[in-house]
């Protein structure tokens, strides 16, 4: 079984990938991005992500992925969990509806997080999150927007100000 342990203390129940310690979802990418190995692992990870989305499973905790582009206007009934996930590129939602909090604590996102036009009934949590580019909340509606302000690290504040400018202009 996969050696990944979630924040709840529960172990990941997936089979390990080949001779690694982790499942395809939690296993690291090989260093060489041009290798066949990298390509195969990327494809298997993408298939896994699609399978999870189809199943309505939005627990991406600890996932190691290239990028995630959620289908437009996707509806997520409860939490969206990207805690401790490592995403080489971006995580993008367009017009998504999220019933509870979107959790990004401890995650590393190489490029951007897009919540364009999203409607989030909870908050968005960014404690100890590393984001390579920006977080875009354009036309988004977030129920507890203060959580975003309080928890986002200082270094992203200028981007948040841009967002608020958009937000108030509506
Ligand atoms: Zn796993």
Per-residue pLDDT reduced to its tens digit, 141-151 = 887 755 555 55
CA of 82 to the centre of ligand 1 (A): 14
CA of 25 to the centre of ligand 1 (A): 6
Query: Residue 120: how many CA atoms within 13 Å on its side-chain side?
Result: 28
Residue 21: predicted pLDDT? 97
In angstroms, the CA 39 to CA 33 distance is 8
CA of 86 to the centre of ligand 1 (A): 13
88, 112 contact by CB (below 8 A): no
pLDDT digits (tens, 9 = 90+) for 95-115: 999 999 999 999 999 999 998
pLDDT digits (tens, 9 = 90+) for 42-75: 999 999 999 999 999 999 999 999 999 999 999 9
CA of 1 to the centre of ligand 1 (A): 8
Is the pLDDT confidence value at 126 over 90?
Answer: no
CA of 55 to the centre of ligand 1 (A): 17
CA-based nearest residue to 117, from 100, 134, 142, 145: 142
Residue 95: predicted pLDDT? 93
CA of 90 to the centre of ligand 1 (A): 21
- The distance of Cα 107 from the centroid of its chain, to the nearest Å, equals 8
| pTM attached to this predicted model | 0.84
Residue 110: predicted pLDDT? 93
In angstroms, the CA 93 to CA 165 distance is 20
In angstroms, the CA 25 to CA 16 distance is 9
Q: What is the DSSP string of 12-76?
A: P-SPPPTTSSS-TTTSPPPS-TTSHHHHHHHHHHHHHHHHHHHHT--B-TT-EES-EEPPTT-EE
CA of 107 to the centre of ligand 1 (A): 16
The C-alpha angle with vertex 157 and arms to 154 and 161, in degrees rounded to 5, equals 165
Residues in Cβ contact with 149 at an 8 Å cutoff, skipping those fewer than 6 apart: 160
């Amino acid at each position: 079984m996969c050696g990944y342990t979630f924040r709840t203390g529960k172990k990941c129940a997936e089979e390990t990938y080949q001779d690694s310690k982790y499942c395809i979802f939690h296993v690291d990418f090989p260093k060489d991005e041009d290798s066949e190995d990298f390509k195969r692992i990327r494809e298997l990870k993408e298939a896994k992500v699609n399978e999870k989305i189809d199943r309505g499973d939005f627990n991406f905790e600890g996932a190691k992925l290239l990028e995630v582009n959620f289908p437009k206007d996707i509806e997520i009934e409860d939490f969206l969990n990207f805690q401790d996930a490592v995403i080489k590129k971006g995580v993008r939602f367009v017009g998504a509806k999220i019933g509870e909090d979107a959790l990004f604590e401890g995650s590393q996102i190489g490029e951007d997080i897009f919540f364009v036009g999203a409607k989030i009934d909870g908050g968005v949590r960014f404690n100890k999150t590393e984001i390579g580019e920006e977080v875009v909340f354009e036309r988004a509606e977030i129920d507890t927007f203060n959580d975003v302000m309080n928890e986002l690290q200082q270094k992203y504040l200028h981007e948040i100000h841009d967002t608020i400018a958009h937000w108030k202009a509506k």
